[in-house]
């Protein structure tokens, strides 16, 4: 299982050191949460920050766009250095077209679903997807409590991916710590996004190593 530290909870006054710490500890992706104050009630950053971060990390950049009209922004984030571009199914009426466009830019194309959106809504998009992101909190903030129903949604998404014979990755985001990490691995998740449990820990690098050990003990490394 891959670990994707979310920089939302990082200390941006020391960002290069924080990125280096999780990278050298074995993080698989850097998860970058883009919020517009409209799709979600919070603001973060635009492509300039992604471009600057690109200068201090070779890890795949996993950009999670929590914005309305994501079609207006994907080109800029790709140019800035995003490797995976994930937008919300709830944020655009033309998800298939946008997924195809993201792939045409040479990035991996992901769809995120909020807690109220059924996994079945993704069934007709399976040919166009490189990543499914199941939100296990309502998007917008770090440090929220995990919504237990997400475990069942991960099982459903795993079954959907397997049934379609698709190679797309299954990512989960929100409220993940050591305990539910094991449950999510067992339910079939491929990637865990973790913000506050890594960057709120005091030693992000040590925490990534610890989580890696937890996963390998549970047979999900």
Does residue 196 bind ligand DX5 (CB under 6 A)?
yes
Residues 117-156 that bind ligand DX5 (CB under 6 A): 137, 139-144
Which of 31, 78, 88, 158 is in the footprint of ligand DX5 by CB under 6 A? 31
Part of the chain binding Zn ion (CB under 5 A), chosen from 54-62, 90-98, 170-178, 197-205: 170-178
Choose from ligand DX5, Zn ion, none: what does 44 bind? Cβ within 5-8 Å by kind.
none
Residue closer to ligand DX5 by CB (options 156, 196) is 196
Structure tokens at 101: 């466009």
Mark whether 33 is an active-site residue.
Answer: yes
**Which of 28, 33, 130, 190 is the catalytic position?**
33
Mark whether 173 is an active-site residue.
Answer: yes
Residue closer to ligand DX5 by CB (options 170, 193) is 193
We find the least distance from the C-beta atom of residue 102 to ligand DX5, in angstroms, to be 18
The catalytic site residues sit at 33, 173
Where does this chain bind Zn ion (CB under 5 A)?
A: 33, 64, 173
Where does this chain bind ligand DX5 (CB under 6 A)?
A: 6, 8-9, 31, 33, 64, 137, 139-144, 173-176, 193-197
């Amino acid at each position: 299982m891959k670990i994707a530290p979310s920089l939302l909870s990082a200390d941006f006054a020391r960002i290069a050191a924080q990125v280096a710490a999780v990278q050298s500890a074995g993080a698989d992706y850097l998860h970058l949460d883009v919020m517009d104050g409209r799709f979600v009630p919070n603001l973060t950053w635009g492509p300039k920050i992604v471009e600057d971060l690109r200068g201090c990390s070779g890890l795949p950049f996993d950009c999670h766009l929590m914005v309305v009209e994501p079609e207006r922004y994907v080109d800029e984030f790709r140019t800035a250095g995003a490797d995976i571009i994930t937008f919300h199914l709830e944020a655009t009426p033309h998800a298939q077209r946008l997924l195809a466009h993201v792939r045409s830019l040479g990035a991996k194309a992901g769809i995120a679903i909020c807690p109220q959106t059924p996994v079945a809504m993704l069934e007709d998009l399976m040919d166009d997807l490189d990543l499914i992101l199941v939100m296990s909190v309502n998007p917008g903030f770090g440090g929220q409590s995990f919504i237990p129903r997400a475990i069942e949604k991960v099982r459903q998404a795993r079954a959907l991916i397997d049934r379609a014979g698709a190679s797309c990755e299954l990512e989960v985001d929100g409220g993940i710590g050591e305990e539910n990490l094991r449950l999510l691995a067992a339910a079939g998740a491929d990637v865990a996004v973790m913000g506050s449990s890594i960057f709120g820990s005091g030693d992000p690098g040590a925490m990534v190593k610890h989580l890696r050990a937890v996963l390998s003990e549970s047979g999900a490394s």
